[in-house]
Amino acid sequence: MLAVMHNPVTLRDVARAAKVSVSTASRALAGAGLTSKVTAARLRAVATELGYRPNTLARGLKTRSSRLIGLVVHNLENASFRVLAEVAQQRLRAAGYQVILCITADDPEQEAETIATLMDQRADGLIICPTGQNGARLAALERNGTPVACVIRRDEAVELETVLAADPEGAFEGTRHLLELGHRRIGLIVGRPETTSGRERLSGYRRALQEAGLGFDASLVHAGRYHPEVGLAGCQALLDRPDRPTALFVANHEATLGVLRGLAERGIIIPDDLSVLCYEDSPSLAWQRPAISVVDNGPAALAELAVDRLLRRLRGSPAGAAREYRIGARLIQRQSCRPLSLPVEA
């Protein structure tokens, strides 16, 4: 049995225990292929028993690669962010990278601190859903050779490779679906207008109303931060109207949580009393009774494409000429929307 080490185990300790040179131990543990398979297997076994872990930062200084990728999102309440994290971690791990997941609460100051920390850790690349307030920092990373891929939102201040959902089209299709069911007073709960998704989903809603020959009623729209409380407040305000909507389009996942609570508290029956359509799918919405109809923004495909773009850059390919890529959104019809006037049964 090997001696127990009380201080952090070094490569020299592994080499000494295995009775080989430090250079041999280094090559074997790095998988360089310059040592015999028997020696390499023995060194890995010794390293495991001693509890040796490579000094990633020191190795990064030598190789100029830490094999670390930062993934920066606002929260994990949003189903899209959870899927993004799962898919990105799986894909990047298969490519030999480890993912550092960072949560910023959609706060520019936290985001700035997170970017600085990732750079201190010499992250090789960054996938980020930006707040839109730290574009200069992200552009500086690009200039210094650290590729950045924005996802779900665009940073309007800088030109960065960005992967977005087809939110204008998705919101248009969702609103048109409700219009085709006969609804004319459609409440909308949407994200902040200064964000890509908030602005584009509102534009799709407005276009559908316009094409149906209806005017835009701003009092039917409640915009705010991406929190359940915003969904609850918007739901309550719309239900308090004397001419309350007959359908509600909830255009972000965080707000959905608050809306469903608000409807339950008022005893509103979906879809008998109110048709409800949500944005961004999750298993919980399919398990609801009735199951909730959604516009799915394709988070797995967003993650796949963002990772593809980042890996291309990490492997030396230049940024794409397009700079912006879109994943199609799709309407998934379940049981939460009904025609405004059902035919009388015989």
Decide if 222 contacts 189 (C-beta within 8 A).
yes
Q: What is the pLDDT of residue 78?
A: 86
Whether 215 is in a domain gets the answer yes
* The pLDDT of residue 138: 93
Report which residue type is found at 283: P
Q: 262 and 205 in one domain?
A: yes
Per-residue pLDDT at 320: 64
**How is the beta sheet containing 247-250 ordered, strand by strand?**
221-224, 186-191, 247-250, 275-279, 293-296, 330-332
The pLDDT of residue 61? 47
Count of domains observed in the chain: 3
Assigned domain for 175 exists: yes
pLDDT at 188: 98
Q: Are residues 219 and 108 in the same domain?
A: no
Q: What is the per-residue pLDDT for 12?
A: 84
Predicted pLDDT at 346: 35
pTM: 0.79
Which parts of the chain register pLDDT below 70?
1-7, 30-35, 54-65, 319-322, 342-346
Q: Which of 263, 4, 253 is nearest to 152 (CA)?
A: 253
- The CATH number that applies at residue 116 is 3.40.50.2300
62-111 tens-digit pLDDT: 446 688 999 999 998 888 999 999 999 999 999 999 999 999 999 999 99
In this structure, the answer to whether residues 108 and 128 fall within a common structural domain is yes
Claim to verify: residue 285 and residue 180 sit in the same structural domain: yes
Query: Are residues 157 and 104 part of one domain?
Result: yes
Give me the pLDDT at residue 257, please: 92
* Residue 93 belongs to a domain: yes
Q: Please enumerate in sequence order all residues whose Cβ is within 8 A of that of 238, keeping only pairs 6 or more positions apart, or say none.
A: 187, 189, 220, 222, 244, 245, 248
Element (DSSP H or E) covering residue 190: strand 186-191
Regarding whether 171 and 283 lie in a shared domain, the answer is yes
* Residues 35 and 118 reside in one and the same domain: no
Expressed as residue numbers, the domain containing 29 is 11-54
pLDDT at 317: 78
242-274 core/surface letters (b: 16 or more CB in 10 A; e: else): eebbbbbbbbbbbbbbbbbebbeeeebebbeeb
Strand partners, 331: 295
